[in-house]
Structure 1
Amino acid sequence: MDDTAAWAGLLRVHATLVPLLDRELQSACGLPLTSYDVLLELNSAPGRRLSMGELGQVAVVSRSRVSRVVDQLAAEGLVVREVNPDDKRSAYAMITDAGRKRLRGAAPVYLAGIKRHFTDHLGADASAVAAGLERVLAALRV
């Protein structure tokens, strides 16, 4: 296997799987994958809130789209924006009880999709793939 085979495979899987999971979440729950990801990150954050900059760093959605996704979620009552008391130019996004309920409702669809379309096909290799990807991320954080 040449040096680019794993990279090319990762890109093809990502390009195929992300739209598939997005369609499944939207069909079953009316929630786009980008919204699910933002809700998931906010729900797991300390105090269930993140600054917009922090959210842009951890969410899979691009930093430029984070604000639009948060605006859409806020319009649905799933998150609220709070002004940063230490810096009025920045804001926090915080998941609401309604957002947590929506996230819990969508989680089984999301997790089943990952299992059915991804991890079931990796079998015993799933742990090795996860460990390898974590090593790459750790090296990029340096």
Structure 2
Amino acid sequence: MDEPRWLDEHEMAAWQGFVAASNLINRRLEQQLKEGSGLSHTQYEILVQLSAAAGGSLRMTDLADRLVTSKSGLTYQVTQLEKAGLVIRRSCPSDVRGVFAELTQDGWLVLRAAAPGHVATVREVLIDVLSREQLAVLAEGLGEVSARLRAAERRSPTP
């Protein structure tokens, strides 16, 4: 058996910094959205993805892929948004198994009201903390990580 490639001091600092920062940022965004609009961060991201889609509508499978979440987790969140009148679900006319999530007018209004506070918090906790150069390195590095993980998932999907 091969010896594990342990992290050196520099690698450990990067990993620990990533874990701490991502957890703290997620906690702060979750808090701001709950207090500002009554939405969870996942619910906000669902509304964002639907608002960016043609006609404010996406198949649930495409929405799950864009959000990098499980279909069951997405179903729960969409159900909560549906109960609040922010999203509706409709059947796919060409595939009986397909379901679309669609942003309602109230969903658009809630998203428009929530977005300024969310963006201000994103700026406060990340964007305005880093220089333009640091942001470019972060975007490039995390983009590479995401691309490799997505490619690996396509090669060997997990249930």
Length-normalised TM-score, structure 1: 0.90
Aligned length: 142
| 1:65-104 alignment runs, 5 A limit | 65-104=73-112
CA distance in 2, matches of 1:61, 1:102: 22
Show CA shifts across 1:59-94 (max 9, x none). Answer: 155432100110111111111101011221221101
Match of 1:132 in 2: 141
**1:48 matched to which residue of 2?**
56
SS of equivalent to 1:80: strand
Pick the aligned partner of 1:35 from 21, 43, 46. Answer: 43
Q: Secondary structure at the match of 1:81?
A: strand
Which piece of structure 1 moves more, 126-135 or 75-84?
126-135
Counterpart for residue 126 of structure 2: 118
Identity in percent? 34
Larger Rg computed on CA atoms = 2
Consecutive unaligned residues of structure 2, counting only runs of 5 or more, are: 1-8, 152-159
Change (3 A) 1:61 1:111: farther
- Structure 1 stretches of 4+ with a deviation exceeding 6 A read none
User: What is the rounded CA distance, in whole Å, between the counterparts of 1:123 and 1:64 in structure 2?
Assistant: 38
Distance 1:18 1:62 in 2: 18
The structural deviation recorded for 1:131 is: 1.7
Q: Which letter does structure 1 place at the counterpart of 2:33? A: L
Partner Cα separation in structure 2 for residue 87 and residue 7 of structure 1: 43
- Shift in CA distance, 107/89, structure 1 to aligned 2, threshold 3 Å: same
1:82 partner amino acid: R
5+ residue gaps, structure 1, are none
1:26 aligns with 2:34: yes
- TM-score computed with the length of structure 2 as normaliser: 0.81
- Displacement of 1:56 in angstroms is 1.0
